[in-house]
Amino acid sequence: MSRDETHRVNDETPTGEGLRAIVAARDVDTTPDTAEIRGLAAATGYTVVGEITQRRREDPTYGLGRGKAEDLMRLAAERDADAVIYDGELSPGQTYSLGELLPAGTAVVDRPRLVMERFTDAADSRAADLQLELARLRYELPRLREAIARDDAEEIRLRPEGDRRVLDVERRIESAKRALDGITDDRAERRTRRREAGFDLVAVVGYTNAGKSRLCRRLADDVDGSGESSVAESDECNDGENGDPNDGENGNHDDLDTVLATGDRPFETLSTTTHEATMDGRRTLVTDTVGFVDDLPHDAIRSFRTTVEAAREADCVLLVVDANDEPGTIRRKLRTSLSTVEETAGPVVPVLNKTDRLDAAELGTVVESVETVVDGARRDGLPVSGSLRPPVPTSAHDGRGVGDLRATVADALPTATETVNAPNGSHTESALSWAYDRGIVDGTTYTADGVRVVLAGRPAVVAEATRRFERS
């Protein structure tokens, strides 16, 4: 077994496909709940063949107490595990020490590494690819240094090779940074274009598995009755190397109105996609985003950054909560979501999804949990707390509450109204058709010498329409 295999400081990002893993988790206050890390492991292709949990404070050497770490070693040997998945972040020193203790060849995979593995091959653009490469190299570098420094026995033989590897990783970090700098990011420009075309931008964000994608598909316009939404495109920057960014999302409506998929899996959505949706007559572009999770450097992976940016720049944010979770879990996930988003330009509407499984009393408890977190966010002075609106219960499964949600979004969007009187003529006709195209005509009254038009919609679009009518 080479040191690379033992400590996983290699240059490739292996994925868990076909590998057997033991999950290890520690928590100070409660017995750890491993459901989420197991879900992440399964989504990355691992088969979980055992678990070790511990309730105690952080251990500086192994992340677990020595006794538990030894139990882990024995279990890994007994179950012939390829990897140990640790539910949290391990320092380079802890990664090395645990790797040393485990049977030779057992990889140590902590939460950040697991997420990076999940996102391998998911990048839908060269920029996303480079960002992931950069995150991975930055993560590996201190671990590689640690392994070289600590492996005294082999030091003399391996040091020159180790030094070469460190240099190589450093060079690759610089080169990925340079390549990223060279890619122009046209997302801001695209947002401007979309707004000029009369669309309001809605971002759907929240903890992984909350039901964001399903809700987006519910909200999306079904233009030709085919069950497919009208727009579904990747929001990555356009660098000409996109494959089909919509694989698995665009047109994937087969679960609508049918039985639920068995077994929830986190990180189904790996890049943002956008659908056209009408909210009480208001034309919007609804962006489905990548779910948040705890303990992650969200700015390291581009899809998360794109997600956070979509939330910050949207005219309205839907913050989806899985209302079926336990109150404590709801509070934890909501806090993570709020602190990841940090700040938004537009209002934020919490959406309590999956209410088809709840009775009224249970829903009341969920609302209380959400209010507790919102109050806490206000007390802590989180900038996003000022944008929070009352929560809206929905079910993306059976559609309940979705009508209310559309009305709430339409209400929350910035709106201007204007009444114009325009003379008959081709200028008026073309201004009117321009306004209809942008969905801002609220009513027309024809008179003997012209038409009275009531406009309502995005302030900038209403202003432009008014200018066009005045030129008539």
Ligand X SMILES: Nc1nc2c(ncn2[C@@H]2O[C@H](COP(=O)(O)OP(=O)(O)OP(=O)(O)O)[C@@H](O)[C@H]2O)c(=O)[nH]1
Binding residues vs Mg ion (CB under 5 A): 212-213, 268-269
**Minimum distance of ligand X from residue 320's CB (angstroms):** 6
Q: Contact 363/352 with Cβ under 8 angstroms?
A: yes
Beta carbon nearer to ligand X, 100 or 228: 228
Beta carbon nearer to ligand X, 228 or 356: 356
**Minimum distance of ligand X from residue 269's CB (angstroms):** 3
Helix (H, G, I), strand (E, B) or coil at 353: strand
Beta carbon nearer to ligand X, 158 or 363: 363
For helices 111-119 and 126-150, give the axis angle rounded to 10 degrees.
140
Beta carbon nearer to ligand X, 91 or 252: 252
| Binding-site annotation, residues for Mg(2+) | 213, 269
Beta carbon nearer to ligand X, 1 or 259: 259
List residues bridging with 149 in a β-sheet: none
Beta carbon nearer to ligand X, 188 or 260: 260
Beta carbon nearer to ligand X, 200 or 325: 325
86, 88, 89, 91 alpha-carbon torsion, rounded to 10°: -60
**Minimum distance of Mg ion from residue 212's CB (angstroms):** 5
**Minimum distance of ligand X from residue 190's CB (angstroms):** 22
Out of ligand X, Mg ion, none, which partner does residue 7 contact, by CB within 5 to 8 A per kind? Answer: none
**Minimum distance of ligand X from residue 416's CB (angstroms):** 33
Shortest CA distance to 272 belongs to which of 257, 258, 291?
A: 291
Shortest CA distance to 87 belongs to which of 120, 113, 117, 106?
A: 113
Distances (CA, A) of 400 to 186, 207, 219, 466: 37, 21, 12, 38
Out of ligand X, Mg ion, none, which partner does residue 273 contact, by CB within 5 to 8 A per kind? Answer: none
- Taken in order 118, 119, 124, 129, the sign of the CA dihedral is negative
**Minimum distance of ligand X from residue 115's CB (angstroms):** 12
How many angstroms separate the CA atoms of 219 and 204, rounded? Answer: 11
Other C-beta atoms lying within 10 Å of the C-beta of residue 400: 13
Which residues, 6+ apart, have CB-to-CB distance to 28 below 8 Å? 55, 56, 57, 58
Q: Contact 291/269 with Cβ under 8 angstroms?
A: yes
Helix (H, G, I), strand (E, B) or coil at 422: strand
Beta carbon nearer to ligand X, 392 or 461: 392
| Binding-site annotation, residues for GTP | 206-213, 267-271, 288-291, 353-356, 395-397
| Binding-site annotation, residues | 206-213, 267-271, 288-291, 353-356, 395-397
- The 10 Å CB-count burial string (b at 16+, else e) for 231-259 is bbbbbbbbbeebeebbeebbeebeeeeee
**Minimum distance of ligand X from residue 410's CB (angstroms):** 21
List residues bridging with 229 in a β-sheet: 222
Q: Contact 383/342 with Cβ under 8 angstroms?
A: yes
How many angstroms separate the CA atoms of 3 and 154, rounded? Answer: 10
* Structure tokens that stand for 447 in this block: 């008179």
| CB-based closest residue to Mg ion | 269
The residue to which tokens 């049918």 are assigned:
258
**Minimum distance of Mg ion from residue 326's CB (angstroms):** 21
Helix (H, G, I), strand (E, B) or coil at 470: helix
How many angstroms separate the CA atoms of 183 and 180, rounded? Answer: 5
Q: How many helices (H) and strands (E) does the chain have?
A: 15, 14
**Minimum distance of Mg ion from residue 272's CB (angstroms):** 10
Out of Mg ion, ligand X, none, which partner does residue 354 contact, by CB within 5 to 8 A per kind? Answer: ligand X
Which chain residues interact with ligand X by CB under 6 A?
Answer: 208-214, 255, 260-261, 264, 266-269, 291, 353-354, 356-357, 395-397
Beta carbon nearer to ligand X, 8 or 397: 397
Out of ligand X, Mg ion, none, which partner does residue 221 contact, by CB within 5 to 8 A per kind? Answer: none
